[in-house]
Structure 1
């Protein structure tokens, strides 16, 4: 089974591409890291309990009040497993660069990230057993988190002109000024760097989908990219890996080893470029 990593940046159209890939003619299952990050801290989960235990004593409003519609007027919430997290209140605990905020952010990541990783592995195994030739791993910070080392192919959704990002972001969030939109984009890694890192993986292993026009143009870009991906990782190969587990395990190990080396090479190349500045 091909693990297709999908990433992009704010207002580049990653979610639209994800929806295209889950629909005909591709019908690919999507493992959405953002969705899993919410699910692993839902009331009744181990992640939820760990957050309550850690942040509850110092955050009186950590949980939504019973009067909130999500609680249905019940002390233990609608599902009886606990009141949902008050995410804005939790966000305030980790917002900023103060020593306390950084400490809280580290604690939050230490609880959420392992739970999300476990959920991703379970979803991958489920889709492998179901016999899918490929599954999409939708992770906004795919390169930054290191998940790209497990992906046979990485697809980056990008725009050629950063001004397109600003325009789309302001259309989506009309309350943002041009300066605020620029700051949001600049707070993330430059999409052009992600494009270069994907292309450094080689043909068929790193593809770029440019979303510079309308949805019809984007659909054609996705179709072009998927043709390239399917040539590099045909269905018959995924079938062979499924029916012959030793082949699948060997192929997976080889992919991870190659990607690990590519990560090191990219890090070294980046270090050299920064040293020249």
Structure 2
């Protein structure tokens, strides 16, 4: 079983991913893969620098995420351009890792943490989608606190994603992460049990 794990920015996907891993589920993290494909010297990073200018690179040749983020979050056209460069190699590597883990762990669900799963139209890659949910107000507050953002910066990042209520509506499984960690863990335990997992 391949489960796409998603949610909104600052809803607690990493927390839920860790809980699923502790249950024995292998994890593919799209963010980790996204960092791998733009490692210094990689052809993908070369194409990104070509498109956005070499000043998005740090002195050591690595990507200046803050500078690139400022460009793409302020302009949807620029964000789309970046996505067209990054998404194909990220997807290819994700599929490769998923197939490998399915062979290694045939009796476990392979969890694939994909922040922009719905936005990227990736539902078809998975047997089911699990959404980590918190109400939009709480999401905004957590985002501002976690990343030290202004209201405007938080809004820009939230506007780049489908609203959390829409994601919740489309999910096969919803994990409500607005309460305590214990409450979240209980939902994970229930999901595991109801799915008949060992």
User: TM-score under structure 2 normalisation?
Assistant: 0.85
Map of 1:220 onto structure 2: 186
After TM superposition, list the pairs within 5 Å mapping 1:182-201 onto structure 2. Answer: 184-198=157-171
2:84 aligned to which of 99, 106, 110: 110
CA change 1:112–1:210 in 2 (3 A) is same
1:65-85 alpha-carbon deviations (Å, 9 max, x no partner): 2xxxxx3xxxxxxxxxxx212
d(CA) in 1 for partners of 2:144 and 2:56? 31
1:164 aligned to which of 122, 127, 138: 138
The 3-state SS of whatever aligns with 2:150 is coil
- Between 1 and 2, higher relative CO (CA 8 Å, sep ≥ 6) is seen in 2
Aligned residues: CA RMSD: 2.5
After TM superposition, list the pairs within 5 Å mapping 1:1-277 onto structure 2. Answer: 2-23=1-22, 26-52=23-49, 54-55=50-51, 59-65=53-59, 71=60, 83-97=61-75, 102=77, 104-132=78-106, 133-159=108-134, 161-174=135-148, 176-177=150-151, 181=154, 184-198=157-171, 206-228=172-194, 230-231=195-196
The 3-state SS of whatever aligns with 1:146 is coil
d(CA) in 1 for partners of 2:66 and 2:141? 27
Structure 1 or 2, whichever has the larger Rg, is 1
d(CA) in 1 for partners of 2:181 and 2:72? 36
Unaligned runs of 5+ in 1: 66-70, 72-82, 199-205, 236-277
The offset of 1:188, in angstroms, is 2.9
Q: Give the aligned length.
A: 197
Which aligned segments of 4 or more residues in structure 1 are displaced greater than 4 angstroms? 179-184
The offset of 1:123, in angstroms, is 0.3
The 3-state SS of whatever aligns with 1:188 is coil
**Contact kept? 2:56, 2:68, Cα under 8 Å:** yes
The offset of 1:42, in angstroms, is 0.5
d(CA) in 1 for partners of 2:169 and 2:44? 36
The offset of 1:88, in angstroms, is 3.2
Unaligned runs of 5+ in 2: none
**Contact kept? 2:73, 2:157, Cα under 8 Å:** no
**Contact kept? 1:157, 1:209, Cα under 8 Å:** yes
d(CA) in 2 for partners of 1:93 and 1:109? 13
**Contact kept? 1:208, 1:225, Cα under 8 Å:** no
1:201-220 alpha-carbon deviations (Å, 9 max, x no partner): xxxxx111111211111111
